[in-house]
Amino acid sequence: MNSKEENNDNFNHYPDYEEDIIVLKVPSGKVPERIDTYLSTLIKNASRTRVRKSLDEGMVKVNGKIIKKASFKITGDCIIECIMLRRPPVKLVPQDIPLNIVFEDNYLLVVNKPAGMVVHPGVGNRYNTLVNAVLYHLGLTEDIEIDFNDDSSDDEIINDPGKVFASDEVRPGIVHRLDKDTSGLLVVAKTTEVLSLLQAQFANRTVSRTYNALAWGTKLEDEGSIVGNIDRSPIDRKKFAVSTKSGKYAKTNYKVLKRYSIASLIELKLDTGRTHQIRVHLTHQKHPIIGDKDYGGSFNNYKGANGEFNNLSKFVISRSHRQLLHAKNLQFIHPITNQLMQFTTELPEDMLNVIQILDPSL
C-alpha cells in the first residue's frame, strides 16, 4: 500500500461482498433435513443466518428450482446450488501512524492510546487501528490476511485477540482492549508467549487498572463498589446493561476524587473486565459518563434545573465529544523479568478542559 493510500481517510472499510458458488450432491439414502441446517453444517464459516440470507435472496437452488424456505427438506440425490456472500478476509496492514509509547523492551510495549483510535481491525474498522500502527512500528511491511467468520455486524470488531495473533507471522498481541473513545494505557505483547502469560495475569485478576472518569451527578458515596451482572441490552443488542437475570458477574470499585456543582471526577478500579463495564455501571448508578452517547451521558442531565446548572451543563456537552473516560494507571508483573511494572499518565487535554469549565478557579 503506497503512502497516498495510507494517508487517505476514505479507506475501503466495507469492501464488496465476494460470491462463493457451491454445488453439493446430497448422498443417496440421506434422511430428510432442513436445508438451512444442512448447508450451515457442510459449508465452512456458514452460519444459519448467512444461509438464510442466501435463501431469502433466491441464491439457493435444489434440482434447478429456487428454494427460499429455510424449512425446506432436502433428501438423497438432490443437487444443491448455492451462492454464499461474504466479505473478503480482514487484512492487517502495517501503517505509519504515530504512537505514544510509554515503555518498550524486547517483549512488550505500553501505549497511551488516544481517544478515537480503534484497537483491533475488524469488519468495519480495517485500517487506522492500534494494531495497524504497532505492526508498522515493529518493522512489518507486508499485509497479513486473516480469514474469519464474518457474520458479525459491520461495526463489530474482532473479540478474540488470540485468533488474530495465532500465527507466528503476526508478532504483536493485544492483551486487553479499550473502547474506541476511551483514552489511556494499554499493554501490547510482542510474542505469542508473552501474550499468553499476560492474558493469564488478566484472567487471574492480578493486573491493576485504574481509570478516571468525569461523570454527571454528585451523589455517589465517597467510595464503594458497584456490583451487577452485565449482559446485552434487551432494547439494543449493540449495547450492554446491568441484568438481574443473566449476564456475567462484574464489579467496579470507585472513589470520588472531586465533586463539582453538576459532576464528579471519579477514580475507578476494575475487579472484572466486562465490555463497557465502567460505562454501564456508572449509568446504572445514575451517574453516566459525560459525553457517552450510548449510555445517557451526551444529553443535558440538568434540563429543567435552575438556569446556572442548565447553562453549565449545555456548555459542558458542547465541549465533550466522546465519553470522558481515561485509563490512567496500569500495573502488572513483567512476564519475563518478574519485575513489577507501574505506569501512569496525565489526563488528556479534553478532560482537563472540561474540568476547567466545571471549576474555573483551577
DSSP classification of residue 82: E
Is there a contact between 298 and 317 (Cβ–Cβ < 8 Å)? yes
Q: In the chain, how many H helices and how many E strands?
A: 9, 20
> Which are the contacts of 15, defined by CB distance < 8 A and separation ≥ 6?
87, 88
Residue 144: closest CA among 183, 170, 114:
170
Dihedral of alpha carbons 150, 153, 159, 161, sign: positive
The C-alpha atoms of residue 210 and residue 345 are separated, in whole angstroms, by 11
Active site residues: 179
Sign of CA dihedral 112, 115, 116, 120: positive
Closest CA to 282 of 230, 208, 322: 230
One-letter amino acid of 298: S
Spatial separation of the C-alpha atoms in residues 256 and 259, rounded to whole Å:
7
Run of H or E including 60: strand 60-62
Task: Tell me phi and psi for residue 256, to 5 degrees.
Answer: -80, 120
Position 224: which residue type? Answer: G
CB 313 within 8 A of CB 301: yes
